[in-house]
Amino acid sequence: MTTREIRCFAPYPAIRWAVILLYVLGAQAIAAESPRLVTLGGDITEIVFALGTGSEVVAADTSSVFPPQADTIPKVGYQRQLSAEGVLAQNPTLVLASDDAGPATALTQLRDAGVRLEIVAADDTVDGAVSKIRRVAALLDRQPAGERLITALQAALKRAEAERALAAAAPRVLFVYARGAGTVSVSGRGTAAAAMIALAGGTNAVNELDGFKPLTAEAAVAAAPDVVLMLSRGVDSLGGAEGVWTQPGLAQTPAARERRLVVMDDLYLLGFGPRTGDAVVDLVRQLHPELARAR
Higher local confidence (pLDDT), 4 or 50 = 50
226 in Cβ contact with 173 (< 8 Å): yes
Q: Give residues with Cβ within 8 angstroms of 15, minimum separation 6.
A: 9
Q: Does the N-terminal peptide bond of residue 225 adopt cis geometry, omega within 30 degrees of 0?
A: no
Give pLDDT tens digits for 109-127: 999 999 999 999 989 999 9
Mean local confidence (pLDDT), 231-248: 96
> With the C-alpha atoms ordered 190, 62, 235, 274, is the resulting torsion angle positive or negative?
positive
pLDDT at 294 (0 to 100)? 53
Q: Which CATH architecture has domain 168-294?
A: 3-Layer(aba) Sandwich (3.40)
Per-residue confidence at 33, pLDDT binned at 50, 70, 90? low
> What is residue 29's predicted lDDT score, i.e. its pLDDT?
42
% of the chain surpassing 70 pLDDT: 88
- What backbone torsions phi and psi does residue 120 show, to the nearest 5 degrees? -110, 120
Question: Where do the domains of the chain lie?
Answer: 37-156, 168-294
Residues of the chain with pLDDT > 90, as a percent, come to 82
Amino acid, res. 47: I
Contact 22, 30 (CB under 8 A): no
pLDDT given for residue 18 in this prediction? 44
Does residue 244 or residue 19 have the better pLDDT? Answer: 244
Equal CATH topology for 37-156 and 168-294: yes
The string of pLDDT tens digits covering residues 136-154 is 999 999 999 999 999 999 9
Length of the chain in terms of residues written: 295
For 1-27, the pLDDT digits (tens) are 554 454 555 555 555 444 334 433 443
Cα–Cα distance list, 234 to 108, 200, 246 (Å): 33, 21, 14
Residue 291 — very low, low, confident or very high, per pLDDT cuts 50/70/90?
A: confident
Superfamily assignment of 37-156 in CATH?
A: Nitrogenase molybdenum iron protein domain (3.40.50.1980)
Which is nearest to 276 in space by CA: 172, 156, 137? 156
CA distances from 206 to 176, 211, 270, 271 (A): 11, 10, 18, 21
271 pLDDT higher than 70: yes
The set of residues, in sequence order, having a beta carbon less than 8 Å from that of 235 and lying 6+ positions away, is 178, 241, 243, 244, 261, 263
* Mean pLDDT value across the chain: 90
pLDDT of 30 > 50? The answer is no
* Beta partners for residue 37, in sequence order: 57, 94
- Note whether 54 and 60 are within 8 A (CB): no
Instruction: Determine the pLDDT at residue 168.
Output: 84
Top-confidence residue, 28 or 145? 145
Q: Coil, strand, or helix at residue 177?
A: strand
